[in-house]
Structure 1
Amino acid sequence: MSALLEVSGVSVTFDGFRAINNLSLSINEPELRAVIGPNGAGKTTFMDIITGKTKPDTGHVLWGEQSRNLLGMSESAIAREGIGRKFQKPTVFEAQTVRENLAMALKNKRGPFDVLFYRKSAEGATRIEELAAEVGLTEQLPRTAGELSHGQKQWLEIGMLLAQDPRLLLVDEPAAGMTPAEREHTTDLLVRAAKTRAVIVVEHDMEFVRRLNCKVTVLHEGSVLAEGSLDHVTANPQVIEVYLGR
Structure 2
Amino acid sequence: MTLLEVDGISVTFDGFRAINSLSLSMGEPELRAIIGPNGAGKTTFMDIVTGKTRPDSGRVVWGEDNRDLIGMSESAIARAGIGRKFQKPTVFEDQTVRENLAMALKARRDPFRVLFRRADNAGRIAELADEISLADHLMRKAGELSHGQKQWLEIGMLLAQEPRLLLVDEPAAGMTPAERGHTADLLKRLAKTRAVIVVEHDMEFVRRLDCKVTVLHEGRVLAEGSLDHVTKNRDVIDVYLGR
TM score, norm. by length of structure 1: 0.95
Q: Distance in 2 between matches of 1:120 and 1:28?
A: 33
Alignment match, 1:98? 97
Unmatched segments (≥5 aa) in structure 2: none
Alpha-carbon shift at residue 120 of structure 1 (Å)? 5.6
Partner AA of 1:8 in structure 2: D
Q: Distance in 2 between matches of 1:109 and 1:92?
A: 22
Partner AA of 1:101 in structure 2: N
Alpha-carbon shift at residue 109 of structure 1 (Å)? 4.0
Alignment match, 1:125? 122
Q: Distance in 1 between matches of 2:39 and 2:92?
A: 31
Change in Cα spacing, 1:41 to 1:88, as seen in structure 2 (3 Å) is: same
Alignment match, 1:155? 152
Alignment match, 1:15? 14
TM score, norm. by length of structure 2: 0.96
* 1:1-246 paired onto structure 2 within 5 Å: 2-109=1-108, 121-245=118-242
Q: Distance in 2 between matches of 1:214 and 1:109?
A: 34
Change in Cα spacing, 1:43 to 1:137, as seen in structure 2 (3 Å) is: same
Q: Distance in 2 between matches of 1:177 and 1:49?
A: 26
Change in Cα spacing, 1:141 to 1:236, as seen in structure 2 (3 Å) is: same
Partner AA of 2:23 in structure 1: S
Partner AA of 1:180 in structure 2: P
Alpha-carbon shift at residue 118 of structure 1 (Å)? 9.9
| Local SS of the residue matching 2:53 | coil
Q: Distance in 2 between matches of 1:90 and 1:3?
A: 29
Alpha-carbon shift at residue 121 of structure 1 (Å)? 1.3
**Aligned-pair Cα RMSD in Å:** 1.4
Unmatched segments (≥5 aa) in structure 1: none
Q: How many residues align?
A: 240
